[in-house]
Chain A
Amino acid sequence: MTTNAVALLSVENVGMQFGGLTALEAVSFSLNEKKIVAVIGPNGAGKTTLFNCLSGFYQPTTGRVMLDGRAIDKLPSHEIARAGLVRTFQNIRLFKQMTVMENLLVAQFTRSDNRLWAGLLNNRHYREKEETVKREAIYWLERMELTPFANREAGNLAYGQQRRLEIARCMATAPRLLLLDEPAAGLNPNETVALCQLISDLRNDHGVTILLIEHDMSLVMEISEEILVLDRGRPIAWGVPAAIREDRAVISAYLGEECL
């Protein structure tokens, strides 16, 4: 297997403190390419904090985060995104008053021709770039079944469509690692099944590695190859779904000591 290859993401001893409060402590794990891994844990376990640390919205107080062998923990969030790590948000953050299409175009900003003169003069290189960007956006519209809504304001989409658009927007940046923060929250059972399929398709067809936070255990157990369990800011288990299901520490974290 790929044991001797450099892991795509490696998290070493990451900790995060707010004032005197420890939100995250000594989290270490590594992620190989094309894996689907879930982060689970009770509310307040520090899952979103971990995502914020990885994606640069927080700077971890201790530890290191390496993406493809390069330290990213000191980088600002937009540079981390450029390095190939993008994320979605628990409370969907679309550009609500822009159209679905425009959301996908904005996502490709860093790949557009941004020279002022090229754009003002509308020269060939600029036009070609714009065409490529548009084609890519159209691809993702189709892929995510959003084509009929392309010209609608993103804020007017149904909830499930907004979730898909947020994922599409991430994918349009051609990421290497995709962080999904509760992608199934608010979806109905049918949509959740479709999401399952989508996540594994994205990995298979586009080679993207996926790390997701999720409360829906059926989804987590079905698609993740490995699971990281956090409790009160500390990692308490790491392993394949079957092992996690049996793990005493995990069960007690979720259900409390007395249930054992």
Chain B
Amino acid sequence: MSQFILEFIQQIINGLTLGSIYALIAIGYTMVYGIIGMINFAHGEIYMIGAYISIVVIAALAMIGITALPVVLLLTLLMTIIITSLYGWSVERIAYRPLRGRHRLVPLISAIGMSIFLQNYVQIAQGARDIAMQPLISGGWRFGDAGGFQIYVSYMQVIIALVTLAFMILLSLFILKSRVGKASRAVAQDREMANLLGIDTDQIISITFVIGAALAAVAGLLVGLYYGIVNAYIGFIVGLKAFTAAVLGGIGSIPGAMLGGVLLGLVESFSSAYLSTEYKDVVAFSVLILVLLFRPTGLMGKPEVEKV
């Protein structure tokens, strides 16, 4: 095989890794938008907090002498999800719930305030410096050889893809099969009607935020393990990109968020490989603007009808 093809495949692998992360976070945006029609601007910060908590848990486990890798990973995953979800729940409870039924810019501004607050809260508590963690899982496989170029797939990349896939399947099953999942679809379609039918809409909305935060926590943990570097500002750009992914897939649609995440990951990976690393963010945000302009409903979203 030629070097070009190998490099191409390498970019696909990198893009899928990145895309998995975007997809996990994008689901939080899309579910919240689907159910209460607001952009949860602070969602990127939840992901950042997830990354911090995962490092704290790993360090704490190491300090009490738990180092067996599978145990560490499982416990970290569990603890990170629980605590980060609680953050997601609290944010909704404090900053959004009192604003139900107000003009749609009001919760958006509140969310921006929340985002600024959380970013600075973590920065003050943990310092502005990058926090670097030794990779727990290193190594990988190499394939092919053309002109000295080999495809490299790290174990971590495979783990990211598998974990993401597992959580996507879990989420889909939950939404399709469980009582709460059905209720949440009902609330997304018509909140007032669902309320009349005896569904506790506030509770469903809370659960939506918790699920979104849990998936963001998974993304935070995976990023912490993969890159090993975390700071208080990682949430903003990644959050914006995950939102782009949600819009690209069609905001409100969960399969759309998955698709959008993967597509955006690929776009970014290819643009940094074949265009320039500096412009990869420009490309990502241009995608956002272009999608909103030419297909605001995204790839899998439903069109909205204006009511006169």
Contacts and interface: CB of A to CB of B under 8 A. Distances in A.
**Do A and B come together as binding partners?**
yes
Interface of A: 18, 48, 52, 57-58, 89
A52 B305 CA distance: 14
A55 to B, nearest CB: 9
B308 interface: yes
A57 B305 contact: no
A211 B306 CA distance: 24
A52 to B, nearest CB: 5
Contacts of A57: 306, 308
Nearest to B308: A57
A18 B305 contact: yes
Nearest to B306: A57
For the complex, would chain B's binding face be called helix, strand, loop or mixed by DSSP majority?
Answer: loop
Nearest to A55: B308
B103 to A, nearest CB: 12
Nearest to B307: A57
A97 to B, nearest CB: 12
A150 B308 CA distance: 27
Contacts of B306: 57
A255 B268 CA distance: 64
Contacts of A58: 308
Interface in B278-308: 305-306, 308
Contacts of B308: 48, 52, 57-58, 89
Nearest to B305: A18
Contacts of A52: 308
A237 to B, nearest CB: 26
5 tightest A-B contacts by CB? A57-B308, A52-B308, A18-B305, A89-B308, A58-B308
A89 B307 CA distance: 12
A211 to B, nearest CB: 17
A58 B308 CA distance: 9
A48 B308 CA distance: 9
Interface in B77-119: none
A30 B34 CA distance: 45
Contacts of A48: 308
Contacts of B305: 18
A120 B305 CA distance: 39
B90 to A, nearest CB: 34
Nearest to A77: B308
A192 to B, nearest CB: 25
7 contacts: A18-B305, A48-B308, A52-B308, A57-B306, A57-B308, A58-B308, A89-B308
A15 to B, nearest CB: 17
A52 B306 CA distance: 12
Nearest to A181: B308
A76 B188 CA distance: 32
A77 B49 CA distance: 48
A251 B170 CA distance: 58
B304 to A, nearest CB: 13
Contacts of A18: 305
Contacts of A89: 308
A257 B202 CA distance: 47
A48 B305 CA distance: 16
A222 B23 CA distance: 64
B301 to A, nearest CB: 16
Interface in B203-242: none
A89 B308 CA distance: 9
A158 B308 CA distance: 23
A89 B305 CA distance: 18
A147 to B, nearest CB: 31
A9 B305 CA distance: 27
A162 B121 CA distance: 50
A88 to B, nearest CB: 12
Interface string B114-145: 00000000000000000000000000000000
B297 to A, nearest CB: 15
Nearest to A52: B308
A25 B308 CA distance: 20
A118 to B, nearest CB: 32
Nearest to A89: B308
A139 B308 CA distance: 30
Nearest to A18: B305
A58 B306 CA distance: 9
Nearest to A57: B308
A112 B306 CA distance: 29
A18 B306 CA distance: 12
B61 to A, nearest CB: 55
A34 B12 CA distance: 69
A93 to B, nearest CB: 9
A58 B305 CA distance: 10
B302 to A, nearest CB: 11
B216 to A, nearest CB: 36
Nearest to A58: B308
A3 B308 CA distance: 35
A52 B308 CA distance: 8
